[in-house]
């Protein structure tokens, strides 16, 4: 078969116009005939003999152009690149490769330099931190030793101050005996009748004795209160010293562990965002000032405690001498007086009846006040329940609105009224107790009026036959 070469220029041109990206190479189309299944080697290749199968036919480039000149013109006009463009493209690739290689080398050099700088700075930072931790350990150790020494001295001072407090407490208790005797003598002398009720020297001496005993008791009690307050302050300083010592021991242990940490230590790990969190509550200077203040406060408290112990010893000696002098003067005056005058029995009975009636009225008011206070508890519970229930509102609904303010104002008003009522109740209770004590005193005095002479000679003088404070301040 002859190759079919269609020469239809119009149709060929329309096909390439529809496909503008396909170049027009100018070749002719050729039909390819497939071979049979038998191998071509089975046939003789003698030129004189005819081949059993015709060979493949390929297009003739030269004759094709000659037969169809339009193809050659299209091939020449639609060539894509020129040799100059091809050369420039290669030069461009070479320059791009050189620039990228140089940039990569510079980046590698910068990376190595950054690694070395980072290593140096990190090592220097760790060295500086280790040095700072060492200095911190030295500072904490110094102040720990100072606090421990001051704590030991404070414990000895507290022990001595406790001994002084015990002596003062014994002195205050021992004054109760003479004071009770003197007051009882005055009570007995109030039972005198008629003209025997005279404000004589014996009564004046007894009053001076009672006043002196109460004054001395107040002095001793005041000194005892000061001793208790000072002991409380010393214990507070002791507590501060112990707490500060414990904190310094803990901080010293933590800093020691941190000082021995290194890059090869086991158990180190990451804590995300730890460098942004600042839990510190003091600076280096304020920390040292705080430790110094604690030690200085302890020293001041020890100084005041020592001065207070000296004052207590001198006060005890002075009170003992004054008590003996007043006791001797009262006994000397009572040796000349053995009678007493009592008030009229009817007047006492009238006062006693009035006091009894007043006690009855006060008790009724007390019950009324207690009931009124109890009734206010329901309103208080309602307001508290409302306020507590509104606290469970979610998110932005937990608003400080007018209702919340009204509830708070209501609770404050209820508490104010309850406070006033409790205050009035307390005053009534105090007055009730006073009336009870007054009634007891009147009843007691009324009973003493019956046997005034017996009380004056036997009871009053009999109570003062022996000094009841022989071992008052023995320690």
Task: Please check whether residue 253 is in contact with residue 197, taking contact to mean a CB–CB distance below 8 angstroms.
Answer: no
Angle at 196 (CA atoms; ends 191, 202), nearest 5 degrees: 80
What is the pLDDT at residue 106? 92
What is the pLDDT at residue 194? 52
Task: Please check whether residue 42 is in contact with residue 3, taking contact to mean a CB–CB distance below 8 angstroms.
Answer: no
* 3-class secondary-structure state, position 456: helix
What is the pLDDT at residue 340? 54
Tell which residue, 199, 206, 200, 204, has the closest CA to residue 185.
206
Residue found under tokens 């008791």: 217
- Cβ-proximal residues to 89 (8 Å cutoff; 6+ apart), any chain: none
Q: Look up residue 192 and give its two tokens.
A: 């005198």
What is the pLDDT at residue 339? 53
DSSP codes, 381-398: HHHHHHHHHHTT--GGG-
Architecture of domain 122-263+283-340: Orthogonal Bundle (1.10)
pTM of the model: 0.50
Q: Cα(97)–Cα(104) distance, rounded to whole angstroms?
A: 11
Q: Cα(313)–Cα(110) distance, rounded to whole angstroms?
A: 84
What is the pLDDT at residue 455? 65
Q: Hey, where are the domains in the chain? A: 122-263+283-340, 351-391+401-471
What would the pLDDT profile of 132-186 be if each residue is shown by its tens digit?
888 888 888 998 999 999 999 999 999 999 999 988 888 888 888 888 888 888 8
Intervals of the chain under pLDDT 50: 1-19, 21-22, 24-33, 35-52, 58, 61-62, 64-65, 341-342, 472-475
* 3-class secondary-structure state, position 341: strand
List beta partners, residue 341: 192
């Amino acid at each position: 078969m002859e190759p079919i070469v269609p020469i239809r220029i119009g149709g060929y041109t329309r096909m390439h116009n529809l496909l503008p990206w396909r170049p027009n190479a100018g070749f002719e189309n050729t039909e390819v005939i497939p071979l049979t299944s038998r191998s071509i080697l089975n046939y003789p290749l003698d030129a004189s003999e005819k081949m059993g199968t015709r060979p493949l036919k390929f297009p003739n480039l030269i004759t094709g152009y000659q037969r169809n000149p339009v193809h050659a013109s299209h091939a020449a006009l639609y060539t894509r690149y020129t040799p100059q463009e091809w050369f420039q493209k290669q030069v461009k690739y070479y320059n791009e490769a050189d620039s990228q290689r140089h940039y990569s080398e510079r980046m590698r050099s910068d990376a190595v330099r950054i690694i070395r700088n980072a290593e140096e700075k990190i090592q220097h930072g760790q060295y500086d931190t280790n040095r700072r931790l060492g200095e911190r350990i030295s500072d904490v150790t110094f102040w720990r030793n100072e606090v421990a020494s001051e704590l030991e001295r404070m414990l000895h001072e507290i022990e001595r101050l406790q001994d002084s407090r015990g002596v003062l407490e014994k002195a205050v208790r021992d004054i109760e005996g003479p004071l009770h005797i003197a007051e009882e003598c005055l009570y007995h002398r109030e039972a005198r009748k008629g003209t025997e009720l005279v404000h004589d020297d014996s009564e004046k001496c007894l009053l001076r004795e009672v006043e002196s005993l109460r004054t001395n008791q107040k002095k001793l009690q005041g000194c005892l209160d000061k001793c208790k307050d000072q002991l409380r302050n010393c214990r507070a300083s002791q507590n501060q010293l112990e707490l500060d010592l414990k904190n310094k021991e803990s901080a010293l242990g933590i800093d020691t562990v941190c000082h021995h940490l290194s890059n090869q230590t086991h158990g180190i790990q990451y804590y995300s965002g730890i460098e942004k969190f600042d839990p510190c509550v003091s600076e280096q200077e304020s920390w040292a000032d705080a430790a110094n203040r604690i030690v200085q406060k302890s020293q001041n408290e020890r100084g005041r405690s020592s001065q207070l112990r000296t004052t207590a010893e001198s006060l005890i000696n002075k009170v003992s001498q004054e008590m003996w002098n007043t006791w001797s003067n009262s006994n000397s005056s009572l040796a000349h007086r053995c009678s007493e005058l009592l008030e009229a029995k009817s007047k006492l009975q009238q006062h006693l009846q009035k006091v009894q009636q007043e006690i009855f009225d006060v008790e009724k008011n007390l019950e009324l006040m207690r009931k009124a206070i109890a009734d206010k508890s329901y309103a208080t519970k309602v307001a508290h329940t409302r306020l507590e229930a509104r606290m469970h509102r979610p998110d932005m609904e937990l608003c400080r609105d007018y209702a919340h303010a009204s509830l708070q104002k209501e609770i404050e008003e209820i508490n104010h009224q309850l406070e006033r009522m409790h205050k009035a109740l307390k005053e009534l209770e105090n007055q009730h107790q006073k009336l009870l004590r007054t009634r007891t005193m009147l009843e007691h005095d009324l009973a003493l009026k019956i046997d005034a002479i017996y009380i004056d000679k036997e009871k009053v003088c009999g109570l003062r036959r022996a000094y009841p404070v022989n071992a008052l301040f023995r320690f």
